Amino acid sequence: MKKDKITVADIAKKAGVSPATVSRVLRHRELVKSETIQQVENAMSALGCLLEKGTIAAATEQPLIILNVPELDNVFYLKVIDGALVSAKAHGYRLLINDSPLDRSSIYSFINLLKQVHAAGVILLNHVSKEQLDMIHSVVPLVQCSEYNEHADYPYVSIDDYSAATSAAEYIVSCNCNKIAMINGPMSFKYAVKRQEGFLDTLRKKDISVRPDWIVSLPEVNYQMAYSAVCRLLNNEIRPNAFFVISDVFAAAVIRAAKRFDLRIPEDIIVVGFDNLDISIMTCPTITTVNQPSFQLGYSACELLLDSINHPDMFPKSLILDTELIIRESSAKI
């Protein structure tokens, strides 16, 4: 009988490492040496297997789509993956999640991966240079998702980050706040740049100045980093009375920091987040947030990619999905 499931033990034997090492590569790769990660990934490729929702499965019969994501710790990406997975399964494809940055040092390994697993196409959630997009497209069809390069003529599914941030900033100002801070993500990503531009442009139009040290850019979406940054701002004699943050994870950090300084939300500080993650209704108070259709982003990106795969002579149109500001307790008494 044909074996359609590849086990951790199979990969360990092929890679010449222990099953525990394989598990660490799959779940906590930051704890493993890069040479060992490559060793395990080479073994997986040789066995023709992939990681799908924690299951290692053979990928010998169904065509394979690779979804490249900056990190798996960001909950937002998990919903995007779910959307892409639903679309892929509906069309008889499998999805391989590749969580790594794409830059000059990694692009050739990524190209080799595409060739080794005979990928049918790629969905990219990383910010990728035009040169690297050209390299990927020379091997397989691609679609950019959420993050996209404005200077490259490749299809994408995303939101209007500038407009979404503008709506959030206008709402904050309407709440009679004039000392507004922003906790942003890494400026190497389009979403961070556009949301900051929308936020600052709105405040300028309202004649509201922003202290430079109240615009904080963090290297990743990390709760502890955000908590430390907010505590630093609240520990000053002059402190913000509102926060616009680019993730609900950051908004939760603001709520915790406010309690540490005996500040009330929304009476003393209002908070507006982004993404409408599940955590936004789990906190006390609940979080006012910009709803980003994460599942639909992944689903639509996969559908767009499949159109490119099945109709290579047709260039698919890019999509911009709508966002919505959802008002909850962190900015208003409800």
What DSSP string runs through 121-140? Answer: EEEE-S---HHHHHHHHTTS
Phi then psi for residue 230, to 5 deg, are: -70, -40
> Checking phi first, is residue 58 left (phi over 0); if not, alpha (psi -120 to 50) or beta?
beta
CB 84 within 8 A of CB 302: yes
DSSP per-residue codes, 243-274: EEESSHHHHHHHHHHHHHTT--TTTT-EEEEE
CATH superfamily assigned to domain 161-292: Response regulator (3.40.50.2300)
Cα-based distances in Å from 12 to 16, 41, 313: 6, 10, 42
Question: What is the separation of C-alpha 227 from the centre of its chain, rounded to a whole number of angstroms?
Answer: 20
Question: In the chain, where are the structural domains located?
Answer: 8-159+295-322, 161-292
* CATH architecture of the domain covering 8-159+295-322: 3-Layer(aba) Sandwich (3.40)
CB 280 within 8 A of CB 328: yes
What is the pLDDT at residue 2?
A: 40
> Checking phi first, is residue 123 left (phi over 0); if not, alpha (psi -120 to 50) or beta?
beta
What is the pLDDT at residue 3?
A: 44
**Nearest Cα residue to 242 out of 292, 202, 278, 282:** 202
What is the pLDDT at residue 55?
A: 45
DSSP 176: T
Structure tokens at 294: 């994460």
CB 270 within 8 A of CB 254: no
Q: What is the pTM of this model?
A: 0.79
Same fold, 8-159+295-322 and 161-292: yes
Half-sphere exposure of 105 (CA within 13 A, CB side): 3
Q: In whole angstroms, what is the distance from residue 107 CA to residue 135 CA?
A: 9
Strand order in the sheet with 94-99: 94-99, 64-69, 121-124, 142-145, 156-159, 319-321
Neighbours of 267 (CB within 10 A): 9
Per-residue pLDDT in tens (0 to 9) along the chain, 334 residues: 344 556 677 788 888 888 778 777 776 666 778 788 888 888 877 776 655 444 444 444 689 999 999 988 889 999 999 999 999 999 999 999 999 889 888 999 999 999 999 999 999 999 999 999 999 999 999 999 999 999 999 999 999 999 999 999 999 999 999 999 999 999 999 999 999 999 999 999 999 999 999 999 999 999 999 999 999 999 999 999 999 999 999 999 999 999 999 999 999 999 999 999 999 999 999 999 999 999 999 999 999 999 999 888 887 789 999 999 999 999 986 6
Q: In whole angstroms, what is the distance from residue 277 CA to residue 308 CA?
A: 30
What is the pLDDT at residue 161?
A: 98
